[in-house]
């Protein structure tokens, strides 16, 4: 096993691949990284999504990172590997349509309800108001929020680029860590992130705190539940509501309705 998580075998002149032993050592050294990424993504997914499949996808992402890493670019291997592992896991989720079409439709209905109500009221909509707007009881709405957990993970197509792509997620598109070189794409993402930042500032305080701890401080759902002294299920629901609000607001801005 390698002595350091940042250690990467030096490429000898003319050599394009690592030996099987070097590759195995790198995989074993960075397996905790793969499990960490799977845990973060998996916490936002329903139980029927197999975590072992995600780990296998993460290993493929790590192998890809090992083969393509260029130390001269001044990027730490761990940082580069985490991006590759996360990307591989999201790619694997895109290939599996694990969300029923009616649930995707309900997700869009809730997003629209949040966006429309908050535009009308000038403040964050309550659960009772959203439930009434979509014709549900509060209890039914709470159950729906649990079902909508992680529904858009892996859907990072550009929102609106396909004229109503059913599973396009502008939040993931904004936050995706890509290696774009196109000035147009970079400028677009900068603008969308600015809009997203403004929308986050308008979230209810508890939802804003969950978003901050999860995406900026990179805590897990379990760690956030310990910090806020509430159960993990409640943290997951706050995260789901925040994402639905943000997607709705961003869709409104991108469509020119606000």
pLDDT tens-place string over residues 198-211: 888 999 999 999 99
For 141, phi and psi rounded to 5 degrees?
-65, -40
The secondary structure of residue 46, as a DSSP letter, is: -
* Structure confidence by residue, pLDDT tens digits, 232-241: 989 989 999 9
The winner for highest mean pLDDT among 40-49, 92-101, 212-221, 249-258 is 212-221
* Structure confidence by residue, pLDDT tens digits, 131-190: 999 999 999 999 999 888 877 665 433 333 333 344 445 565 565 555 555 566 667 767
Q: Are residues 87 and 116 in the same domain?
A: no
Domain boundary among 94, 110, 132: 94
Q: What integer pLDDT is reported at residue 164 of this predicted model?
A: 39
Q: Are residues 84 and 123 in the same domain?
A: no
**pTM of this prediction exceeds 0.85:** no
| Tokens linked to 136 | 């549900």
Domain boundary among 36, 62, 94: 94
Q: Are residues 137 and 48 in the same domain?
A: no
CATH for 222: 1.10.10.10
> Is residue 79's pLDDT more than 90?
no
In a domain, 248, yes or no: yes
Q: Are residues 107 and 232 in the same domain?
A: yes
Q: Are residues 195 and 213 in the same domain?
A: yes
In a domain, 7, yes or no: no
In a domain, 15, yes or no: no
- In the block, residue with structure tokens 């999201």: 90
Residue of 213, 216, 214, 203 lying closest to 247 (CA atoms): 203
Query: Alpha-carbon distance 133 to 109, whole Å?
Result: 9
User: How many structural domains is the chain composed of?
Assistant: 2
pLDDT over 90 for what percent of the chain? 31
Domain boundary among 61, 94, 127: 94
Q: What integer pLDDT is reported at residue 14 of this predicted model?
A: 43
Query: DSSP of 114-143, one letter per residue?
Result: HHHHHHHHSSPPPHHHHHHHTT--HHHHHH
Average pLDDT of 37-41? 86
CATH for 73: 1.10.1740.10
Q: 30 lies in which domain range?
A: 20-94
Query: Alpha-carbon distance 174 to 196, whole Å?
Result: 8
């Amino acid at each position: 096993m390698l002595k350091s998580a940042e250690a990467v075998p030096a490429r000898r002149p003319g050599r394009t691949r690592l030996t099987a032993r070097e590759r195995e050592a790198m995989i074993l050294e960075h397996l905790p990284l793969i499990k960490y990424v799977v845990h973060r993504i998996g916490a936002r997914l329903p139980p029927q999504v197999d975590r072992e499949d995600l780990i296998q996808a993460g290993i493929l992402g790590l192998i890809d990172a090992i083969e393509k890493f260029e130390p001269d670019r001044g990027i730490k291997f761990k940082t580069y590997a985490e991006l590759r592992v996360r990307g591989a896991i999201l790619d694997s989720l895109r290939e599996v349509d694990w969300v029923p079409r009616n649930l995707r439709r309900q997700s869009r209905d809730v997003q629209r309800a949040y966006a429309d109500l908050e535009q009308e009221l000038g403040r964050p909509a309550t659960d009772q108001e959203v439930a009434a707007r979509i014709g549900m009881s509060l209890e039914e709405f709470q159950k729906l929020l649990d079902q909508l957990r992680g529904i858009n993970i892996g859907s990072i197509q550009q929102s609106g680029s396909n004229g109503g792509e059913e599973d396009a997620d502008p939040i993931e598109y904004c936050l995706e860590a890509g290696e774009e070189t196109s000035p147009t794409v970079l400028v677009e993402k900068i603008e969308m992130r600015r809009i997203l930042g403004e929308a986050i500032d308008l979230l209810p305080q508890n939802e804003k705190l969950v978003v901050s701890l999860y995406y900026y401080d990179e805590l897990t759902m379990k760690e956030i539940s310990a910090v806020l002294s509430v159960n993990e299920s409640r943290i997951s629901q706050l995260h789901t509501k925040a994402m639905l609000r943000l997607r709705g607001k961003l869709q409104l801005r991108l469509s020119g309705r606000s």
